[in-house]
Copies of this chain bind each other. A is one copy, B any other.
């Protein structure tokens, strides 16, 4: 129950969790996987779109570091809706449209490089927990709904 939380406390939790969601896509796009893994609680779990659960920061880091190099992505992250459940727990839903490109492509003037034709439209289903380090993902489940 959130009855004991003030409006300002609820707002601060919502903002902290929204920021985690945006930081995750930023760190993913910048391929800073150590910082990305640190957005999870020590025992947090990332469930990949293929259903694979990655339990704990080390497993998350290893999985992302094993991705093929040379790919650029931009996760257009929208529709972020956080629901505060208690002083220490919250849930969230968000959408992401993933544009990607081969980093080896030459840039066309100042218009950047050519994106791959397949675009993925996905969703994130998140559980957040307040830890001694601040708010973190306890579970982040990704899935793709459709693609172009």
By the criterion CB–CB under 8 Å, are B74 and A121 in contact? yes
Bound together, the chains give a CA A120 to CA B143 distance in angstroms of 23
By the criterion CB–CB under 8 Å, are B110 and A115 in contact? no
With beta carbons under 8 angstroms apart, the residue of B75, B78, B147 that contacts A108 is B147
Set of chain B residues within 8 Å of A145, measured between Cβ atoms:
72, 74, 101, 112-113
- Nearest Cβ in chain B — how far from A25, in angstroms? 6
CB of A62 closer than 8 Å to a CB of B: no
Copies of chain A in the complex: 3
Set of chain B residues within 8 Å of A12, measured between Cβ atoms:
7, 11
By the criterion CB–CB under 8 Å, are B11 and A15 in contact? yes
CB of A144 closer than 8 Å to a CB of B: yes
Q: Which of A8, A14, A81, A145 has the most CB of B within 10 A?
A: A145
Contacts known (A11-B15, A12-B7, A78-B77); A50 close to B110, Cβ less than 8 A: yes
User: Within A60-116, which residues are at the interface with B (CB < 8 Å)?
Assistant: 72, 74-81, 93, 95, 97, 99, 101, 108-115
Bound together, the chains give a CA A118 to CA B93 distance in angstroms of 25
Q: Mark A108-136, 1 if CB is under 8 A from B, else 0.
A: 11111111011011100000000000000
- Nearest Cβ in chain B — how far from A18, in angstroms? 9
- Nearest Cβ in chain B — how far from A144, in angstroms? 4
CB of A43 closer than 8 Å to a CB of B: no
Bound together, the chains give a CA A22 to CA B80 distance in angstroms of 8
